[in-house]
A and B are shown apart, each in its own frame.
Chain A
Amino acid sequence: MSKGKRVASFLSGIITILLSFLMFYFPKLGMMIIVFIISFTLLGYGTRLLTHYSTLSRHMVGGKVILYIGMVIFNLGILTLTAASVGKLPVFIYLFVLFIFTGALDIMKAFEEKKNKARFWFWRLLFGLFAVMLGILSVVSCFVLKSSEGLNFLFCTVLFYSGFVRIIKAFRKTAIVYIQ
């Protein structure tokens, strides 16, 4: 990782943590902030992938995967944006799917890394299990506690965690395979 990326990662970590405090102390803004953060992140990433497909990866073997991922992510971005006016339930469902999906992915990657004798696979496994736990908590928050405050607190936690990870990443040593 370049110095610039490390600084960017550190700063975005700090901003994310500040945002989590903002949501914690002003819970009424919470739902709106959640929806906009998720939506614009997805729209931006989806647009980037669709542009990549139209200019480059449509010529690549297996390049359609980029198109499909781009379309799905872009649509999820639009869907999330509309979720604010529909109500809280879609946001709960969305968070559940998001956490379960990323958690499952992390757990799968952790076992793959273990198979490849990579270091730190256990930490990835822990992150994966934590994400799954958050997914379950979002369901509990919606159907058992029936409160958006729970969701707000949940998202604060996630934002804080995400910011914390970004700061750690800024200082983490990275290793790649280098072919000469």
Chain B
Amino acid sequence: MNTDFHYYATYCTAVLAGYSHEEACEICYSAQFVDFCSKTFLSSIKGPLSAATSQLAVELVEQKTDILGLQDITRIWSSFHFLPYDLHAKKKHCSRIYLNKYRLICNSNGKLVADTVNLAKNKTLQAVGIAMHVTADTWAHKYFAGTPSMVINNTDRFFYEVLPEGDSYSVRQLKFSHNPGAKDDPENGVYVNSLYQTSENTVMNLGHGRAGHLPDYSFIRYKYLPAWADYEEVLKDNPSDYLHAFAQLVYAMRYIRGEVENFELNTYAWDIIEPYRGEIETILEKRQTDDAADWKALGEKISGKTIPDFDIDRYKEEYKTASKEEKNNTFLGKFILGALAQKSMVTGKIYKSGNPIAGVSVDYKKNGFAGIKDYMKLIEYANGGKDDE
């Protein structure tokens, strides 16, 4: 998913869930900012580097893939972009080292989705935005893991686009190139992906790199052989997945607002989105790599307000000029707290499941504070990280 969904479509879902225009703007900004909060950005504002929610290409190029480097990558990508579906998944006759990777495969409606949404309840709008990004990505990025792994994330030449034709459908084989400067060409079915490398831990095998940007495009349906699926063909229906993501975000935010008592998995706000369902489906099916303009128009139609364009520097000065005591109450300060909480929660769950790939997690309640100093902020967060309204 790109700016079109994480920013504009998330704005639509927030307004439909009952948030005001101003609140929806903060939520969608936070959801989109998850893709931009890199260590490079945090360095520029002198923020805690542990709050990074994404990695730039240049950071990945320089990233070590030794044990500590892999843990750092996994914490970021599993917590914010490839939320694991089942941390206790079983697979017969495989080694522990394989199982640890297999258990990080992302999918929608996993238990961690409920944990993510619950973590954002009664917290800031920034935390809500982060939770919406993570939840939406479980639909787009399903079947890939947020850790570099050839044996999980690799794809091969068996990769076909499924094109509906009335009641039937046709297929065409997709081609991939590895030129970073090239653009995807949906008309001719040529997409850019990362290089095939037999090295298990290279960043080329991180997430959906081997499938290119296909998971990020709402219009496409494709079938392929995931590396982990024992030669079973998998069909990825993005228009359907994105529609489910949209309806689930509305439902999740209604729960966070207290309009629904419990957050249940596999539950969607179909009734709320019904008046706009036709328009939503039209946007999702449109064969274009960027739906931002269409989502923006729909969002402005729903709220009757103008949605400002996303600007990565919008809240930078506020954070930089705030005093040390006030930083946590700035927009970026609240985002950082929300990010640390999400990363801490997911890393803790992965570690507790007996999986060391994301690193060690120390239980504060049992053992007190230990580990990376940045996470001290979480104690303040637990003691009242709400908006000062």
Q: Which residues of A contact B (CB under 8 A)?
A: 1-5, 49, 52, 54-57, 59-63, 66, 69, 115-118, 174-180
How many residues on the B side are at the interface (Cβ–Cβ under 8 A)?
A: 52
27 contacts between A and B (CB under 8 A): A2-B64, A5-B64, A55-B97, A56-B97, A56-B150, A56-B151, A57-B151, A59-B94, A59-B102, A59-B228, A60-B150, A60-B227, A60-B228, A61-B228, A62-B154, A63-B151, A69-B198, A115-B177, A175-B61, A175-B180, A176-B60, A177-B209, A178-B56, A178-B180, A178-B209, A179-B207, A179-B208
Residues B156 and A179 in contact, CB atoms below 8 Å apart: no
Question: Is B200 on the interface with A (CB-CB < 8 A)?
Answer: yes
A52 to B199 Cα, complex, angstroms: 9
Chain B contacts to A: CB under 8 angstroms: 2, 35, 54, 56-57, 60-65, 69, 81, 91, 94-95, 97-98, 101-102, 150-151, 154, 156, 177-182, 192-195, 198, 200, 203-204, 206-209, 212-213, 216, 225-231
| Inter-chain contacts of A175 with B (CB < 8 A) | 57, 61, 180
Contact of B209 among A5, A60, A61, A179 (CB under 8 A): A179
Instruction: List 15 additional contacts besides A118-B179, A176-B61, A178-B180; criterion CB under 8 Å.
Output: A49-B198, A56-B95, A57-B150, A57-B151, A61-B229, A118-B178, A175-B57, A176-B57, A176-B60, A177-B180, A178-B56, A178-B209, A179-B206, A179-B213, A180-B216
A57 to B62, CA, bound (A): 26
- Chain A CB within 10 Å, residue with most, of B65, B69, B98, B192: B98
Contact B194 A176, beta carbon cutoff 8 Å = yes
**In the complex, what's the smallest C-beta–C-beta distance from A22 to chain B, in angstroms?**
31
- One of B57, B61, B226 near A1 (C-beta < 8 A): B61
Q: How many angstroms from the CA of A5 to the CA of B201 in the assembled complex?
A: 14
Majority secondary structure, A binding face? loop
B194 to chain A, nearest CB (A): 5
A59 to B209, CA, bound (A): 20
Closest to A1 in B: B61
A2 and B62 contact, Cβ closer than 8 Å, known pairs A60-B227, A61-B229: yes
Residues A177 and B227 in contact in the complex (CB < 8 Å), given A55-B95, A56-B98: no
Chain B, Cβ-Cβ closest to A118: B179
| Structural contact, A177 and B95, CB atoms closer than 8 A | no
Counting chain A CB atoms within 10 Å of each CB, the highest count among B56, B178, B204, B212 belongs to B178
Interface centre among B57, B63, B193 (most CB of A within 10 A): B57
Do the beta carbons of A176 and B151 come within 8 Å of each other? Answer: no
- Which B-chain residue is minimally distant from A69 (CB atoms)? B198
A130 to chain B, nearest CB (A): 23
C-alpha gap A54/B93 in the complex (Å): 11
